[in-house]
Amino acid sequence: MKVIAINTVDFAKAMADETRQKIMALCCCQQLSVNEIVEALDVAQPTVSHHLKILKNAGLVTAERRGKQVLYTLNQKHLAAGCCQVAENFAPEYPIEEVRE
């Protein structure tokens, strides 16, 4: 099993913004363009692009170019790995396996 390296500070900063959390929720299990995200959130395009850049740098969304559009989707594997890493760093007495039971 390959271990994903997570910068927990960048991860936490990316997760800390409400707009970014809304973008992540929208991009879960589907690919969306910037314009689709703008329409869904009623937020300015430059604002959405700024947040997508932060999410992409933290590994929380992936981008796929299709023609002139870039489609974004939530990187669920990286999200789960980041959450687990934060838990392991700050709650080492509670292994993830025990919490799931």
Domain extent, residue 88, equals 8-100
Tens digit of pLDDT for each residue in 34-74?
A: 999 999 999 999 999 999 999 999 999 999 999 999 999 99
Residue at 3 is within a domain? no
**Using CA atoms, how far apart are residues 49 and 47, in angstroms rounded to an integer?**
5
Residues β-bridged to residue 70: 65
DSSP 3-state assignment of 13? helix
**Using CA atoms, how far apart are residues 19 and 71, in angstroms rounded to an integer?**
18
Residue at 96 is within a domain? yes
For residue 85, pLDDT over 70 is answered with yes
Mean pLDDT score, 78-96: 85
Q: Residue with structure tokens 């689709």?
A: 36
Domain count, the chain: 1
User: What's 57's domain CATH number?
Assistant: 1.10.10.10
Cβ–Cβ contacts within 10 Å for residue 96, how many? 13
Residue at 40 is within a domain? yes
Residue at 35 is within a domain? yes
Residue at 1 is within a domain? no
Residue at 93 is within a domain? yes
Q: What is the pTM of this model?
A: 0.86
Mean predicted lDDT score pLDDT of the chain: 90
Residue at 25 is within a domain? yes
Residue at 55 is within a domain? yes
User: Quick one: what percent of the chain has pLDDT higher than 70?
Assistant: 90
